[in-house]
Amino acid sequence: MENPYEQQQSALLIRIVTNVKRLNQTMTDLNQKLETLNRYNSDVVLIADMWSAYNESVRIHLDNTKALDDPNDAKHTTI
Question: What is the predicted pLDDT for the residue at 47?
Answer: 95
Q: Give the sign of the dihedral formed by CA 64, CA 65, CA 71, CA 73.
A: positive
**Buried b / exposed e along 51-71 (16+ C-beta atoms within 10 A):** eeeeeeeeeeeeeeeeeeeee
Q: Per-domain residue ranges for the chain?
A: 42-69
Tens digit of each residue's pLDDT (9 = 90 or more) over 4-62: 889 999 999 999 999 999 999 999 999 999 999 999 999 999 999 999 999 999 999 98
Question: What is the predicted pLDDT for the residue at 63?
Answer: 87
pTM of the model: 0.54
| The pLDDT of residue 74 is above 60 | no
| The pLDDT of residue 70 is above 80 | no
